[in-house]
């Protein structure tokens, strides 16, 4: 779906900030200069790939029911191995000069754009008029980062995607991305920052990150961050039996001029186990230090399970339930809401797949229905999607469900064709 073409929380026109252009220039300058001080490698290479998609849709509950549009995501990657893989970490001698050999040390960089446009029609009646259509579009930076990594660690700096957690449809740990499981392209804007990860021998890993310059509202945020105040956080993930468990933390300063204590802390816990049935739990506590009444604390708790039945080619079934609560004190649960999600996935053959997804809002007694058929052709993928949703005001937990600001309101259908291309070349 075209979820990032139309804003989820605001109907304001899309704008391209000027500051990221400077940041992108610094990122790319670093990408070009760093390899100049390192030994030339014959395995260095450039990779250019892109994804072109076009769609047409009808949504009975949208302000402009008919939409046609297209999108292109060009992506350029530089890959530069610095030290060839060794059997172990060793001290190497090269032409009488000592250097420390780090197993699998490499440098890479990525820059990607997002170019899209759409025409929405028939907003005022059956016949076209001056106020009966609307053009929407933008050209913006999608990714722009540099990374230094080895077989056990990595450091990545720039505009990047950061996501984690065990839940699939109802995600309390959706802190930095806006991916919707109904979107075949899985699009999400990135965040500006630096992130480091280290992987231990027992599959445990630790993440550390710092963010700066991200003033837009992120998921589950009611107030934006102060743009030039740094945010920071981390995550520790460890293996537990047949699964894994993790603890996550993030701290930011909110744009809250009238209060002295502007900080917000997020705490996350998630576990997943895979036996005959896979099951998981994911929870988050969002604590604002400012006295904001019922908005001071939010709790989100999701329980989920999945299983593949031996029917035909294998019927995959997943189910999740989320409790959302808020209150003046942590775990006060003054106000609550409940959401359930259920999905079915069945491969019809090598080239065809059908999936169904349902959301239910218990408080509003609203059912959201979605079905998608995917067909692989020689030159790309064809998606045919249909939905039957309430025509209601925006639900921030269900992107694409709001009347007038997204395409999945009321009854509708969407057809999308996706083409991918890729070329590689070695640097001598």
Number of neighbours of residue 260 by Cβ within 10 angstroms = 7
For Cα atoms 95, 101, 107, give the angle at the middle one, nearest 5 degrees.
105
Number of neighbours of residue 4 by Cβ within 10 angstroms = 23
Long-range contact pairs involving 378-381 (C-beta distance under 8 Å, separation at least 24): 379/419, 380/417, 380/418, 380/419, 380/420, 381/184, 381/417, 381/418
Secondary structure class of 359 (helix, strand, coil): strand
Mean pLDDT over residues 121-148, rounded?
Answer: 81
Distance CA 317, CA 345 (A): 7
Length of the chain in terms of residues written: 428
Secondary structure class of 294 (helix, strand, coil): helix
Nearest CA to 331 among 298, 302, 303? 298
For 281-304, what is each residue's pLDDT tens digit? Answer: 999 999 999 888 899 999 999 999
The per-residue pLDDT for 16 is: 38
C-beta of residue 170 within 8 angstroms of C-beta of residue 302: yes
Looking at the DSSP bridge assignments, the partners of residue 33 are none
User: Is the pLDDT higher at 109 or at 82?
Assistant: 109
pLDDT band (50, 70, 90) for residue 352? very high
What phi and psi values does residue 416 have, to the nearest 5 degrees? -135, 135
Percent of the chain exceeding pLDDT 70 equals 80
Given a cut of 50, whether residue 74 has pLDDT beyond it is yes
In order of their start, the domains of the chain are 144-426 (2.40.160.10)
Write down the pTM of the prediction: 0.83
pLDDT band (50, 70, 90) for residue 124? low
C-beta of residue 246 within 8 angstroms of C-beta of residue 238: yes
Given a cut of 60, whether residue 406 has pLDDT beyond it is no
pLDDT band (50, 70, 90) for residue 82? confident
SS3 of the chain: helix, strand, coil, percent, to 5 = 5, 55, 40
Distance CA 181, CA 146 (A): 28
For 8-48, what is each residue's pLDDT tens digit? Answer: 333 333 343 444 444 544 444 454 444 444 444 457 899 99
Cβ within 8 Å of residue 101, ≥6 positions away: 83, 86, 89, 90, 91, 92
pLDDT band (50, 70, 90) for residue 259? confident
Mean pLDDT over residues 322-346, rounded?
Answer: 95
Given a cut of 70, whether residue 129 has pLDDT beyond it is no
Mean pLDDT over residues 365-377, rounded?
Answer: 96
């Amino acid at each position: 779906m075209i979820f990032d073409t139309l804003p989820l929380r605001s109907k304001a026109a899309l704008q391209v900030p000027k500051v990221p252009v400077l940041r992108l220039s610094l990122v790319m300058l670093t990408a070009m200069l760093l390899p100049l001080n390192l030994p030339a490698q014959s395995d260095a290479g450039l990779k250019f790939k892109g994804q072109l998609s076009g769609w047409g849709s009808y949504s009975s509950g949208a302000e402009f029911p008919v939409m046609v549009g297209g999108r292109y995501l060009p992506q350029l990657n530089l890959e530069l191995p610095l030290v060839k893989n060794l059997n172990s970490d060793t001290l190497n001698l090269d032409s009488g000069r000592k250097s420390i050999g780090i197993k699998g040390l490499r440098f890479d960089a990525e820059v990607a754009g997002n170019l899209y446009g759409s025409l929405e029609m028939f907003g005022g009646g059956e016949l076209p008029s001056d106020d009966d259509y609307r053009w929407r579009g933008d050209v913006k930076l999608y990714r722009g980062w540099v990374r230094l990594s080895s077989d056990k660690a990595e450091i990545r700096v720039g505009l990047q995607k950061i996501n984690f957690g065990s839940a699939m449809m109802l995600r309390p740990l959706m802190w930095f991305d806006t991916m919707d499981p109904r979107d075949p392209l899985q699009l999400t804007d990135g965040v500006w920052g630096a992130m480091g990860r280290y992987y231990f021998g027992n599959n445990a890993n630790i993440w550390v990150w710092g963010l700066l310059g991200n003033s837009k509202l992120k998921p589950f945020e009611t107030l934006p961050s102060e743009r030039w105040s740094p945010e920071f956080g981390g995550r520790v993930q460890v293996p537990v039996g047949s699964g894994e468990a993790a603890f996550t933390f993030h701290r930011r300063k909110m744009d809250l001029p009238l209060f002295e204590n502007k900080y917000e802390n997020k705490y996350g816990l998630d576990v997943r186990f895979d036996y005959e049935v896979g099951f998981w739990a994911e929870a988050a506590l969002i604590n604002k230090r400012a006295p904001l009444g019922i908005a001071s604390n939010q709790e989100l708790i999701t329980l989920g399970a999945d299983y593949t039945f031996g029917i035909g080619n294998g019927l995959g079934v997943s189910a999740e339930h989320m409790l959302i609560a808020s209150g003046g004190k942590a775990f006060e649960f003054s106000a609550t809401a409940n959401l359930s999600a259920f999905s079915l996935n069945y491969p019809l053959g090598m080239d065809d797949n059908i999936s169904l997804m349902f959301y239910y809002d218990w408080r509003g007694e609203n059912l959201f229905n979605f079905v998608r058929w995917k067909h692989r052709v020689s030159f790309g993928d064809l998606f045919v999607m249909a939905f039957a949703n309430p025509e209601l005001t925006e639900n921030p937990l269900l992107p694409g469900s709001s009347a007038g600001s997204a395409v999945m309101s009321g009854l509708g259908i969407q057809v999308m064709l996706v083409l991918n291309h890729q070329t590689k070349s070695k640097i001598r």
